[in-house]
Amino acid sequence: MISNSAERWGWVSISLHWITAALIISLAIVGLIMSELPTSAFKMQVFAVHKSFGITVLALTMLRLAWRLFAGTPKDIPGTRLQTLAAKIVHGVMYGVLFAMPLSGWLYNSASGFPLRWFGVISLPKLFTGFNPSIKAFALNMHESLFYVLAGLLLVHASAALYHHYIVRDNTLKRMLGKTV
């Protein structure tokens, strides 16, 4: 099933979810180690790939939201009002961070005076013209802070999915795994 139904997510939503998750985990690992690399051409390549995948996450997030508006969402699994509210808040904040984090990286890159080319193919415009140390520092601080916010949100998100699967034994996780419910 391509589209979402009242009972489950369709394969487009499922694919976008898991591709985004894999990219975020990869970006986190690379992001944590890349600044420790010795200055070299390899380090510049790692940074370029990190930026390109970050922009890809931004594009996928826009696509996910557009698809969500078009295809709708499954109805909420019955739970307490607090659980439903918490899920909506975590998802909303997570989407906000998935926009803000790549944009802060893009702003950092722009304020550093570097060009940004998506996988060396498409030149992206600068969000700020010229070198600006104060904007560069602000954007880097924001990018790093958002990483920790996102890590916390993902921990809550994954823990809630596992709680629903193993403790509550409902279909929350199964719906995102493409299992028939």
Look up residue 88 and give its two tokens.
């909506």
pLDDT at 17: 96
Q: Name the residue with tokens 């790093």.
A: 144
Global pTM value: 0.91
**Cβ-Cβ contacts under 8 Å for 168 (sequence gap 6 or more):** 79
Largest Cα separation within the chain, whole Å, is 54
Query: pLDDT truncated to tens, each residue of the chain (181 aa)?
Result: 888 888 889 999 999 999 999 999 999 999 999 989 999 999 999 999 999 999 999 999 999 999 999 999 999 888 889 999 999 999 999 999 999 999 999 999 999 998 999 999 999 999 988 889 999 999 999 999 999 999 999 999 999 999 999 999 998 889 998 876 5
CA 7 to CA 121: how far, in whole Å? 40
pLDDT at 180: 65
pLDDT at 78: 85
CA 169 to CA 181: how far, in whole Å? 12
pLDDT at 3: 85
Q: What ranges in 36-79 are assigned the alpha helix state H?
A: 41-71
**Cβ-Cβ contacts under 8 Å for 89 (sequence gap 6 or more):** none
Three-state SS at 98: helix
